[in-house]
Structure 1
Amino acid sequence: MAIVMQHLVNGISLGSLYALIAIGYTMVYGILRLINFAHGDIVMMAAYFAYFGIAAFHVPWYITVVVVVALTALMGAGIEKVAYRPLRDAPKTSILISAIGVSYLLENLANYLFSGVPKAFPAIGGLADNIVIGGVSVQMVSLFTPVIVVLLVLGLMFIINKTKLGMAMRAVSKDYEIARVMGIKIDNVISYTFMIGSGLAAIGAILW
């Protein structure tokens, strides 16, 4: 039973991270019908931002988290503006190739700037400490991760269902040509979508 509970705790923690990263991925697909191959690389870049903020520049972790989420959100919006927006009316194959190109660009840029050498992420507070509950060893971060993910999902559901931005997102996902005719600023809505998705990816990278 202890082994079963250990796997259950590990699965809930890891599954929560997968869910958080996947939400940002599917937000983009739900609106643009675009498979954003660069999403995983955005997670990678966010992890590097967090590492250098804490380990190299010794910025307090709570400030680093805010800065990393903001930088990653801006990076997501920048990618959309440079790589995807000019091809919005192009064939889907062109957008797909552009997405793959952005992915390779980020991978090789990170490899060039940061090298491929594994780096040990510094412990944040007591989150890396292990506690034993009923014979099950649990990291503190594994206890907080599902709670943080649930709160973020509830916040995202509120944005999508209860705000004007969320209403615009739902309209664009149905038919962005009609949404444009109805006065919705398509470019702004899609940029905000990329920012939210990239921000969630950044939080997932930090928790990872």
Structure 2
Amino acid sequence: MHPDRFFTVEIDTNFHIRGWLNAGHDRLIKMGKLFRVHSLVLRIRKNYYDHQNVKKDNMDYFIQQLINGITLGGIYALIALGYTMVYGVIQLINFAHGEFFAAGGYVGVIFLSFFTGLGYMETYPVVCLTASFGLAMAYCAYLAIGVEKIAYKPLRKESRLAALLSALGMSIFLSNGLMLTQGVYDKAYPSELFQGGMHFGMVTVSYLQVLILVLTGVLLVALNFLVFKTKMGMAMRATAQDKTMSALVAISSNRIISLTFAIGAGLAAAAGIMVGLYYGSVRYDMGFIPGIKAFSAAVLGGIGNITGAMVGGLIIGMVEVFGAGYISGEYKDVFAFIILISVLYFKPTGIMGENIDDTRV
């Protein structure tokens, strides 16, 4: 490199980039000016302890990544449950499921922004948060019922390929519908929500992470109770195992299928709000990659198995976070796909697939 042409970049602990540029242009040399490039700020939403002279083999770093992985894994588990429940009942991979996740994120930002603008979030945060989640989940539940009636119900007696193509077409339709109604740009969540956190040495647990973990736990427990402890859940499991016999005991398969779509979409909507809060914004096409990762989680756990979907979601979240933290963040999306391919090749039934006939929804 020519001695009078150089470009250096320094990253400080506050993640600002400062560069000094000295070009070998004759005019610049004569003027003797040194241009300082600044104001480029990296918005990094993870703890890069290595930039703070903390080694990656430090236990605090490991614990921080563990917390991040559980948080992300819980979100993937909520989305994966929709895939596994629908497959358990009608043996269909609902590839439009990711769009319920995205739609839920948009409904959440609309209502949370509305409540924040009125000043209610400061006065009644629990009520506003509950209302936002409830409205988003209800909207996506009814949307899913409509999708099932239009795109899937007429094709139940057709080949699986026809249903699969219908699912892909509905996914594109819903994604473009979000683009037309909400625009192509990111929509930001109110930035003042859930600021701060708890510090345990070098480990930080944000209040938002606590909220996500608590809500995820509540939803998973509620779903387990619904499926395994109620008459409605018994009807869902009976329909999954034998639609003909369940019809003989007055169980409406149409009603159960619609209910299954609604529950799965509601959980995905809740996950969409969590992701919007966690990353600060939502986008019309945000459902594709998380949807594929959640599908990978469902396959990993054993497609059709509720407990397997939960376990698979946590594993995918952990692998993604630890892979990004210890290997490279550039490949964080690759790890889930590697797991998906590996599971399909070595154990297509998933880690809990051996009991799929007994415990699938």
TM-score range, shorter chain: over 0.9
What's the counterpart of residue 25 of structure 2?
A: none
Question: Who is 1:10 aligned against?
Answer: 68
C-alpha contact (below 8 Å) 1:61/1:124 kept by paired residues: no
> Does residue 101 in structure 1 map to residue 169 in structure 2?
yes
Q: Which residue of 2 aligns with 1:134?
A: 201
Structure 2: gaps spanning 5 or more residues: 1-58, 119-127, 276-361
User: 1:40 Cα shift?
Assistant: 0.7
SS at 2:187's partner residue?
coil
Please say if 1:52 is aligned against 2:110. yes
> 5+ unaligned residues in a row in structure 1: which ranges?
none
Counterpart check, 1:115 vs 2:183: yes
Residue type at the aligned position of 1:78: G
Q: Which residue of 1 aligns with 2:235?
A: 168
Higher relative contact order (CA 8 A, sep 6+): 1
Tell me the alpha carbon deviations over residues 79-124 of structure 1, each in whole angstroms, 9 at most, x when there is no partner. 1111111111111111111111110001111111112211221147
How far apart, CA to CA, are the structure 2 residues paired with 1:32 and 1:123? Answer: 41
Spell out structure 1 runs of 4+ moving beyond 3 A: 56-62
Say whether 1:191 aligns with 2:258.
yes
**Matched residue, 1:150:** 217
Secondary structure of 2:204 counterpart: strand
In 2, Cα distance between equivalents of 1:65 and 1:151? 13
Is 2:152 aligned against 1:84?
A: yes
Q: What TM-score results when the alignment is normalised by the length of structure 2? A: 0.54
1:150–1:62 distance in 2 versus 1, CA, 3 Å: closer
**Structure 1 residues 32 and 124: CA distance shift in structure 2, 3 A:** farther
1:180 aligns with 2:180: no
Deviation track 1:29-78 (CA, whole Å, cap 9, x = no partner) reads 11111000011111001101111222257574432222111111111111
Match of 1:203 in 2: 270
With over 3 angstroms needed to count, the CA separation of the structure-2 counterparts of 1:114 and 1:123, relative to structure 1, is: same
CA RMSD of aligned residues (A): 1.7
Cα separation, 2, equivalents of 1:167 and 1:27: 13
- Whole-angstrom distance in 2 between the partners of 1:166 and 1:61: 27
TM-score, structure 1 length as denominator? Answer: 0.92
Report the equivalent of 1:19.
77
Kindly provide the amino acid, as one letter, of the partner of residue 156 in structure 2: R
